[in-house]
Amino acid sequence: AGVFLSSYAKKLTTFILFYAIMFGSGVGLAYTAPMVAGWKWLPQQKGLVSGIILTGFGAGGFFFNLIGTNLVNPSGFDVVNGKFPDAVYENFPNMLRKLAVIYASLQLIGALLVSEPTQKPANQDVNPAAALVAPPAQATGVSIVEALQTSQFWLMWLMIVSSASAGLNVAAVYKQFAANAPALTGDGYQALVGGIGALCNGFGRLFWGSLSDKIGFKTSFISLTLLQALLHLVYPFSASTKMSFLAATGLCFFCLAGNFALMPPATQRVFGSRNGASIYGLLYSAFAAASIGGLLLSKTLTASLGWDGIFKVLAALSLVAAGVGVN
């Protein structure tokens, strides 16, 4: 609904309300239900479950990046003096409506496929009838209010903001950065970079989620943030060729995926299963803060520091996240 309604927006504030807030909130809620159901099916492999579900979430960006580009710019027009031809902008509302119909259809099918395991007797000697009326095992964990009063919650919130700011910033400005590099021109090429980035985002969620099951959250997160810091230090130099820029951007998306994949199972382990999903919903606000704050930071520093300076600042934020993770 948010995508469809945003196609009729005539003002930026209205578009933000429908697309950024309404659609964004729906996206955040959409994968929580299958994730919680998946945790119940495989309670000992929460990282793997989160990774698989978020892989699908991220891979969707690959397909819809290509679909959206084809709908809005079927002729493959390139930017001229910072703008696309008028025909591209005229296609934008219709693109949103078509995407909204596709999203609604796929979401309905997905919702019908989500289920939770039914309780079964622990062994064959147990009376099945008695097992069916036995009270279910009580979920453990703290309340939402109690979680908000812990230092762990706010440290995790700070870790997300510091680390995700880097990856989300690249996801938002890689086209703008590429448009200023003579070797990276072409809307078709830039759409390909976004598509490959989405695939790396999807695969990264599976990788980091599985890794956290094997070596733990802390080691996984520190490895992620150190790799991310290194990538942002060298990212400006990747603009020399299309291949190096494609590889660097894909790796940035791969690291961004880890922020999304590592936090849900960690939240469940730290705060318990009773309210783990709801508490993660509150933690998810850190991604919004990282997205908005990172972009404002980039916009503010572009004139004074240039692209090199911006990516150094983002690398430093990744190191801050690693430092918090150590503690």
At 91-144, the pLDDT tens digits run 788 888 888 888 888 888 877 877 777 765 444 444 544 444 445 455 677 888
In angstroms, the Cα distances linking 66 to 40, 190, 215, 242 are 34, 11, 36, 18
What percentage of the chain reaches a pLDDT higher than 70?
Answer: 86
Out of 54-58, 161-165, 258-262, pick the least confident: 54-58
Amino acid at the residue 60: G
* Average pLDDT over every residue of 22-49: 73
Q: Give the SS3 label for residue 242.
A: helix
Q: How confident is the model at residue 157 (pLDDT cuts 50, 70, 90)?
A: very high
Rg (CA), the chain: 21
- DSSP-derived secondary structure letter, 143: -
State residue 303 phi and psi, 5-degree precision. -65, -40
What's the confidence (pLDDT) of residue 134? Answer: 44
Q: How confident is the model at residue 206 (pLDDT cuts 50, 70, 90)?
A: confident
- Chain centroid to CA 229: how far? 18
Amino acid at the residue 143: S
What's the confidence (pLDDT) of residue 223? Answer: 93
Q: Residue 24: which of 288, 255, 262, 265 has the closest Cα? A: 288
User: Bridge-partner residues for 80, per DSSP?
Assistant: 83
Q: What is the pLDDT of residues 68-92, one digit of tens each?
A: 877 888 777 666 666 777 777 877 8
What's the confidence (pLDDT) of residue 193? Answer: 83
Q: What is the pLDDT of residues 265-314, one digit of tens each?
A: 888 888 887 777 778 878 888 888 888 777 777 777 777 788 788 888 88
In this structure, what token pair is assigned to residue 114?
Answer: 């989500």
The whole-angstrom separation of Cα 13 and Cα 285 is 20
In this structure, what token pair is assigned to residue 315?
Answer: 């690398």
